[in-house]
Amino acid sequence: MQSPHPLKLVLLTSSQTSGGAAIACMRQARVLRQAGHQVTVLSPETWWPDGFLGRWMQRGYTLRKHLVYKLQQYLVWTPGAMFSGNPWPAGDPSRMQHPVLKEADAFVLHWINHGFLGSSDLRALLNSGKPVLWHMHDQWAFTGGCHYSGACTAFENTCGTCPQLRQSGPGDRSRRQFLERQQWAAQAGDRLSLVAPSEWLAGLAAKSGIVRGSGVRVRCIPNPFDPAVDGQGLQPRLVISEQSRPRLFFAAVNPSDSRKGWDLLMMALEYLGREGMVCDVEVAGKVTEPARSRVQALEVGGHRVTWLGLLGPRSMQEAYARADVFVIPSLQENFPNTILESFAAGTPVVGFAAGGISSMIVEGQNGALAPAVDPWASEGSKAMAAVNLASAILRVVQHPQGNLLRAMAYQSLEQVRPERVAKEYTDLIHDMLQNSSKSL
């Protein structure tokens, strides 16, 4: 259904192709266009000219992005952390003169790290007088720089002495960035809305010392998902397989990323093997040596692990459909696209009750949940978490009504129907525009 009042919207993202945030951004752009709005997506690619010069600019940007990431990883963050600075101070003033920015009714920010927007660019958008909606993919917009805070709640007051920084203290980088973000929020007031795909993230944002008292709105609007398009045109498999060995599926661009819980999945499989259950496991993502080393012991114990590498969208959906269970053992997540993709194949999901995952998986209806575990927990706590994960896998594999479980997994997509999401976004933007005109 098209909106009676079409809007000119600009979505800004550091990539249109790489990562979950990029996928969510492009899906959002599609459903807003389907609702009748004029949508332009701006990313680093759109600033580059065509031809030879553009290709060299792209290479330079990519090199700079990866270099900064690696430097921060080894010099700034503590092991296992992910912390980013405020957008780089230097922006390109000419970029803010882009015609679509001048003509836009509202801006929607997605992932803007890696030097895509400078602080001056962000201030220019906030000073434009137009609504700015920040579609959050993690906690970064309302902390002093961490993407996931774990057990730390300092962002509720003011950051400092950050456990994710190698050089930490009361006036550290997290405190300085927190204070700058407070200024951004106070400057924007109700012209800025922080949009969270999950109630979990919205709840954390509302508690932030950056948001409280600033007038900034916090709303929960999920990422959209259209099974006919995002499910790659494949029909869901609503009948359980007759295989004697359960088939599990795990997917992560980099399985060795500690936040993705690969080690806990390996421990859970080891436990299942000792209990007499061996599985076929398919893994999508980069094949790294640390990830591969754990697998050899599993295979000796009877499990069969198949490395699929990095898959395209259709191959991913086919892998979901082959699986009896999709396992997402992440320790911290917002609103994973992978869970929606699994539901589209009719495949139930098992994971920890971490972040937004806890609201996406309903025990016994579309999967099973294990209690959340802190990313910085002791080895003993993680061993117990692995046993809990194994138990959750068993509850799905041994569910007495497996066909019903698959059907209910597919029905879970009702909450993220494109029309529903587009309407919620449209209503929010119109409300912000109305309030903005009243203040003039």
Report whether pLDDT(89) > 70: no
Per DSSP, 117 falls in state: S
Residues 139 and 201 sit within 8 Å (Cβ to Cβ): yes
State mean pLDDT over 3-12: 87
SS3 2: coil
- The pLDDT tens digits of the residues spanning 75-86 come to 888 877 788 876
CATH number of 8-224+417-439: 3.40.50
Where along the chain do the CATH 3.40.50.2000 domains lie?
Answer: 228-415
Report the percentage of the chain scoring pLDDT > 90: 64
For residue 325, give the nearest of 384, 274, 269 by alpha carbon: 269
The verdict on domain 228-415 having CATH code 3.40.190.10 is no
State mean pLDDT over 315-339: 94
CA-based Rg of the chain, rounded to a whole angstrom? 22
Q: Cα–Cα distance between 50 and 88 in angstroms, integer?
A: 25
Residues 421 and 31 sit within 8 Å (Cβ to Cβ): yes
Q: Cα–Cα distance between 233 and 4 in angstroms, integer?
A: 30
State mean pLDDT over 332-340: 92
**DSSP labels for 278-294?**
--EEEEES---HHHHHH
State mean pLDDT over 102-115: 90
- The pLDDT tens digits of the residues spanning 227-284 come to 999 998 889 998 988 888 999 999 988 877 778 899 999 999 999 999 999 999 999 9
φ, ψ dihedrals at 304, nearest 5°? -115, 120
Report whether pLDDT(29) > 90: yes
440 pLDDT band (50/70/90 cuts)? very low
Q: Cα–Cα distance between 178 and 183 in angstroms, integer?
A: 9
Residues 189 and 217 sit within 8 Å (Cβ to Cβ): no
State mean pLDDT over 381-409: 95
Report whether pLDDT(45) > 80: no
Report the percentage of the chain scoring pLDDT > 70: 95
Report whether pLDDT(439) > 60: no
55's CB contacts (< 8 A; 6+ apart) are: none
Q: Cα–Cα distance between 342 and 215 in angstroms, integer?
A: 38
* Residue-level pLDDT at 42: 92
